[in-house]
DNA sequence: TATGAATGAGGGTTCATTCAT
DNA sequence: AATGAATGAACCCTCATTCAT
């Protein structure tokens, strides 16, 4: 027996296959309902090999979270790393975010939902990404406020609250967008910017935020 | 706590105790990690009684979700049932929402996180609440837009997207607020209204949204 | 609440209801799969009453077996109690047997199958009936042999074996007959007599079947 | 018996051990009372291995029934496959039958009693064997009747009834024989042939037993 | 006579994990 | 690099049985 599986491949590639399988199954069945058997089978290897490489179910989950967290972080960081005005940097980051969530729905589910619902150890891993994104937005708001003509002074707690709200809005839109077949990352990003930057009040007055040209 | 089970009580009361225990344990350990033994012990009864009354672990979870969903829905509905201007109705609803999440953190966790991560059957139960809240906000935005002096015409999809964003922002703030000991529901509601109603753009210009007096 | 059931009836009648219910459920689901809950519900009483009257599941089963055994024994005994020639007494007994099994299929199943498959304690109860019937047939054969013109002398062991075979044939025909809607007790009895008496008749005449040599 | 589990053996052999253990325990305690723990222990393995190989208690039971059914069927078929006269073929089959029941008393109990008392799914498995044996005897009787000098014409229903009676007599004798230490398969077969063939022989000669009038 | 409330005990099943090769 | 064979531990669930009224 033993036919079918392509054997003897380099460790790095095998690990990637295992993580791919794990992310998919965990996203769809939930971490607890995902069995090592299923994951090993989908990865096309035997269970002991998964243990040899990834050590335990917890470590496997942690590795999944870290990989997806790193991927998202990398994408958003790359988009934001420019020296543009605040709203254009925000736009770039938000677009990168929705692009990632649209292209990696399972990874996004693992990060956003599964990592937060199976104990603090995993939640902590996922929180790092949120914390980074929140910090970025917080700085952005603080800077913008300072640079505004009216130079408002927002208390730190309030600034962070606004950032948390914005991140939550983005997450919610990401989930929603993924349930709508035709929806695109650009649309989601536009909606979020409309909501967040211009504000509903402005929306009412017709002052809609507009996507910066050449982004 | 307090040893010595109080025996022989009417079924309704026992069921409430069981649901209380289940919500607490599921919120803290996760649905999958929550064992019926633990739940029964915290409820102060034997496991068979839990099965006699609630039938199965799945049914118990469903009952928890439904109870918490109904409680949240009831609170928000009651707050919103007035004939006030849009922003004041929104304020009332938002405040009721944050009040509930602050007073029932475990229930909120069950509804917001656990129900969404353990298969579609449970997710569907929790979605009903989100759908209702989203629909409420959607109508609110549509009405406000129509009544605004500039009478903007937002496409339905866009309106719903804005509502989804707002709900997401609220959920995110609710989680965040619950991690900060001193935070109050009023503060969270104010932050959300600042963010959502006035808009960040307005915030920059100093036109802060203000809590309506006498609410 | 509590409506529907006719309450307060004399103990004897209640017990009969309980046994009726138990026999039906045990015959159809098997003793092990029959639950006291089911039985109590079918009997229209609460479980504690079943325990009050019948004491335990084992005792309830024993009572069922005894009741059905007594009924069958009584029917056959009554039919056989005459001073007729051997074949007519056998016919009468056989007919009474098939009449009982046709009219009490559940009772027959309990006696014939359930009582024999759940431990020796119950098997012993049911064996009493078989033993009595076997003994009756054994005596009948012995008598007939002695009275036959050729006056064959069958060894006791052989005589009993023939009786066992006849009883087994009867049991098998009883089961088979119960699966055929139109079949009657008279037909079954006739088939059995054809099979058994003509065969036994030949035995009496000394025409014993002989094992083929070199088989 | 013999402590110290022999470890690491090929799957097929392990499965056989498990079935052996299951047949023994089910025959002696009854299917419902047989616990997977007991079976696993007697087989010298852990419970999970039993589940890994046999899947569930029901499937294990089914596998037992099928194995014993196949063994009995094979033995009888092999004995009967010759082109002998009817009575010699019958003798061969009957002898093979009693040989099997004597050598595999637990298997016989599983097939004859346990399989018939725990729901229709299992009963159907066991019925196949009975059906085959009944069909064989039915054909035998029909053939013999046609070939007899008096060429009696038995209705199909009657022929089948006679076969059912014969099979029942055999089953009954098998049980009885197993309770008598010194009894042999040859003795049981002889008794059955005496009972059945001489009887059938008379039937063939047209000397049918007739129901006494006025009974 | 009769029952709603409650439980000790045990069984089937599954799973993460390891051993021996 | 890779796997077939095997298990300890735990979990969901059910059932016969009893208590208090």
Q: Which of residues 53-92 of C touch strand F (CB under 7 A)?
A: 56-58
Contact with chain C for residue D148, Cβ under 8 A: no
Residue-level pLDDT at A8? 73
Cβ–Cβ below 8 Å for B204 and A148? yes
**Does A77 or C210 have the greater pLDDT score?**
A77
Count: domains in chain D: 1
Q: Which of residues 20-59 of B touch strand F (CB under 7 A)?
A: 34-37, 47-48, 51, 56-58
- The answer to the question of residue D81 being in a domain is yes
**Is B146:B100 a contact under the CB 8 Å cutoff?**
no
Residue-level pLDDT at C112? 96
CA of B179 to C1' of F12 (A): 34
**Is B126:B113 a contact under the CB 8 Å cutoff?**
no
Residue-level pLDDT at D2? 37
Residue-level pLDDT at A159? 87
Q: Which among C69, C63, C21 is positioned nearest to C46, based on CA atoms? A: C21
Mean pLDDT of the residues in chain C? 87
Distance from the Cα of D175 to chain C's closest Cα (Å) equals 9
Q: Which nucleotide is nearest to C57 (CA to C1')?
A: F16
Location of structure tokens 């004859």: D112
Residue-level pLDDT at A199? 60
The answer to which of A15-19, A21-25, C196-200, D65-69 has the lowest mean pLDDT is C196-200
Contact with chain C for residue D152, Cβ under 8 A: no
For F15, which residue's CA is nearest its C1'?
Answer: C35
Q: Which DSSP string do the residues of C8-35 spell out, in sequence order?
A: ---HHHHHHHHHHHHHHHHHHH-TTT--
Q: How does pLDDT run along chain A (215 residues), one tens digit per residue?
A: 333 445 678 888 999 999 999 999 999 999 999 999 999 999 999 999 999 999 999 999 999 999 999 999 999 999 998 778 777 888 899 999 999 999 999 999 999 999 999 999 999 999 999 999 999 999 988 887 777 666 566 788 888 999 999 999 999 999 999 999 999 999 999 889 888 876 644 544 545 555 555 43
Quick one: DSSP state of residue A68? H
- The answer to the question of residue B43 being in a domain is no
Proximity of residue C41 CB to strand F below 7 A: no
Distance of CA C3 to the CA centre of its chain: 39
Residue-level pLDDT at C197? 76
pLDDT(B215) > 70: no
CA A200 – CA B198 distance, rounded (Å)? 6
CA A168 – CA B132 distance, rounded (Å)? 18
Proximity of residue B28 CB to strand E below 7 A: no
CA B211 – CA A116 distance, rounded (Å)? 33
Cβ–Cβ below 8 Å for C201 and D196? no
Domain extent for B180: 67-204
The tens digit of pLDDT for each residue in C45-84 reads 999 999 999 999 999 999 999 999 999 999 999 999 877 8
- The answer to the question of residue B47 being in a domain is no
Spell out which residues of chain A touch residue B149, defining contact as CB-CB under 8 Å. Answer: 205
Average pLDDT in the B56-82 region?
95
Residue-level pLDDT at B149? 62
Residue-level pLDDT at B202? 56
CA D143 – CA D154 distance, rounded (Å)? 11
CA D104 – CA D102 distance, rounded (Å)? 6
Q: Supply angle C-alpha B207, B208, B212, rounded to 5.
A: 125
- Non-local (6+) Cβ contacts of D142 within 8 A are D154, D159
Query: How many CB contacts within 8 angstroms connect chain C with chain D?
Result: 181
Residue-level pLDDT at B4? 43
Proximity of residue D19 CB to strand E below 7 A: no
- The answer to the question of residue D19 being in a domain is no
Residue-level pLDDT at A186? 93
pLDDT(D207) > 90: no
Rg of chain D over Cα atoms, rounded to whole angstroms, equals 21
Distances (CA, A) of D212 to C97, C100, C167, D55, D158: 17, 20, 21, 57, 19
> Which segments within chain A are labelled E, that is strand?
none
Average pLDDT in the C111-122 region?
95
Residue-level pLDDT at A197? 75
Q: Percent of chain C beyond pLDDT 90? A: 66
Contact with chain D for residue C161, Cβ under 8 A: yes
D vs C contact (3+ beta-carbon pairs below 8 A): yes
Cβ–Cβ below 8 Å for D200 and C203? no
Mean pLDDT of the residues in chain B? 87
Strand F: which nucleotides have any atom within 7 A of a protein Cβ?
1-21
- The answer to the question of residue C59 being in a domain is no
**Is A152:B206 a contact under the CB 8 Å cutoff?**
yes
Give the helix, strand, coil percentages of chain A, each rounded to 5: 75, 0, 25
Burial of C208 (0-12, 13-18, 19+ CB in 10 A): middle
- The answer to the question of residue C75 being in a domain is yes
**Is A53:A11 a contact under the CB 8 Å cutoff?**
yes
**Is A19:A36 a contact under the CB 8 Å cutoff?**
no
Average pLDDT in the D35-51 region?
96
Residue-level pLDDT at D142? 83
**Is B51:B93 a contact under the CB 8 Å cutoff?**
no
Residue-level pLDDT at A146? 75
- The answer to the question of residue D14 being in a domain is no
- Residue B142: give its domain's CATH number: 1.10.357.10
| CA-CA-CA-CA torsion sign (C59, C65, C66, C71) | positive
The tens digit of pLDDT for each residue in C12-45 reads 999 999 999 999 999 999 999 999 999 999 999 9
Q: Count other C-beta atoms under 10 Å from residue C27's C-beta.
A: 24
CA of A159: which chain B residue's CA is closest? B191
pLDDT(C4) > 50: no
Distance from the Cα of A164 to chain B's closest Cα (Å) equals 6
- The answer to the question of residue A1 being in a domain is no
Q: Give me the half-sphere count of Cα atoms (radius 13 Å) on the Cβ side of residue C10.
A: 2
Q: Which of C168, C171, C215 sits opposite D92 (nearest CB)?
A: C215
Residue-level pLDDT at D196? 83
Location of structure tokens 């119950």: C122
The tens digit of pLDDT for each residue in C144-188 reads 777 766 656 678 888 899 999 999 999 999 999 999 999 999 999
Residue-level pLDDT at C87? 77
Could you tell me the two tokens for C157? 């062991």
CA B80 – CA B137 distance, rounded (Å)? 11
Q: Which DSSP string do the residues of B106-175 spell out, in sequence order?
A: HHHHHHHTGGGSS-HHHHHHHHHHHHHHHHHHHHHHHHHHHHSTT-----HHHHHHHHHHHHHHHHHHHH
């Amino acid at each position: 027996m033993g036919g079918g599986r392509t054997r003897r491949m380099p460790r790095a590639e095998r690990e990637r296959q295992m993580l791919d399988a794990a992310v998919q199954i965990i996203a769809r069945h939930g971490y607890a309902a995902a069995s090592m058997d299923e994951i090993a089978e989908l990865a096309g290897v035997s269970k002991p090999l998964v243990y040899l490489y990834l050590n335990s179910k917890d470590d496997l989950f942690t590795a999944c979270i870290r990989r997806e967290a790193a991927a998202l972080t990398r994408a958003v960081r790359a988009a934001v790393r420019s020296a543009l005005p605040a709203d254009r940097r925000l736009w770039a980051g938000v677009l990168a975010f929705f692009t990632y969530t649209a292209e990696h729905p399972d990874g996004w589910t693992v990060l956003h939902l599964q990592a937060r619902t199976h104990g603090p150890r995993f939640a902590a891993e996922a929180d790092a990404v949120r914390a980074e994104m929140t910090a970025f937005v917080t700085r952005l708001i603080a800077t913008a406020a300072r640079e505004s003509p009216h130079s408002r002074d927002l208390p730190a707690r309030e600034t962070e609250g606004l950032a948390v709200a914005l991140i939550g809005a983005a997450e919610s839109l990401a989930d929603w967008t993924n349930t709508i077949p035709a929806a695109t990352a650009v649309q989601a990003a536009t909606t979020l910017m409309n909501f967040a930057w211009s504000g509903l009040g402005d929306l009412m007055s017709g002052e809609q935020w507009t996507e910066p040209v050449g982004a």
